[in-house]
Structure 1
Amino acid sequence: MTGTLISLISVFVGIIGANLTGYFKRKYSFGLTGNTLVGVFGSILLIKTFGRLGFNPWSIMNNGDFNGLRLTINIIVSALGGILGLIAAKKVYFKMNKE
């Protein structure tokens, strides 16, 4: 596994997290395209922020040595990024469209 593949997997997990949240909580849904976009950006934002603690893809690989615990934490944080990004975007949407 390379760092780029881990990054792509993390973004994909964020997309899945946002779309599943939008599917089960219709109140927070922007549709498939909107949920996907918010999932990508929410996942990247949280992974970049959390990656400073040593959970970025290149720390997971660590010179060719694979660390499964860091990968698991990276995937969980990525899913949370997609979910929290969707909730935050919908709350901003509600605030801006208040009549």
Structure 2
Amino acid sequence: MTGTLISLISIVIGIIAANGVGFILKKYSFGVIGNTIAGVFGSILFIKTFGRLGFDPWSIMNNGDFDGFRLTINLLVSAIGGALALVLAKKVYHKFNKS
């Protein structure tokens, strides 16, 4: 695996997590497209944040060696980021649209 492939897999995991949360918790859903957008941005934000701590895709592929623990942490953080971004986006949406 390359660093780019790990990044793409992480983003897909974030999309799946956001759509899963939107499916399970209907009050936080923006529909499939909105959930996907929130999942992408949340996943990227959390990957970049935790990547500074050594869980970025290029640290996972440290000189050709594969670190499964770092990959697991990266994918877990990506899923959490996608789900949290969806929930936070819906709360901001409700905050701005109080009528």
The residue identity in structure 2 corresponding to 1:27 is K
One-letter identity of the residue aligned with 1:13: I
> Match for 1:21: what amino acid?
V
Counterpart check, 1:93 vs 2:75: no
Distance 2:33 2:86 in 1: 12
Q: Would you say 1:63 and 2:24 are equivalent positions?
A: no
Structure 1: state its 5+ residue gaps. none
TM-score for the superposition, normalised by structure 1: 0.99
User: 1:57-83 CA deviation, whole Å, 9 max, x = no partner?
Assistant: 000000100000000000000000000
- 1:28 shift after superposition: 0.2
Percent identity of equivalent pairs: 72
* Alignment RMSD (CA, Å): 0.3
What is aligned with 1:45?
Answer: 45
Match of 1:72 in 2: 72
SS of the equivalent of 1:53 reads helix
Misfit runs of 4+, over 4 Å: none
- Please report the TM-score for the alignment, with normalisation by the length of structure 2: 0.99
List runs of 5+ in structure 2 lacking aligned partners: none
Matched residues in 2 for 1:61 and 1:72: separation? 13
The whole-number CA distance in structure 2 between the counterparts of 1:72 and 1:29 is 26
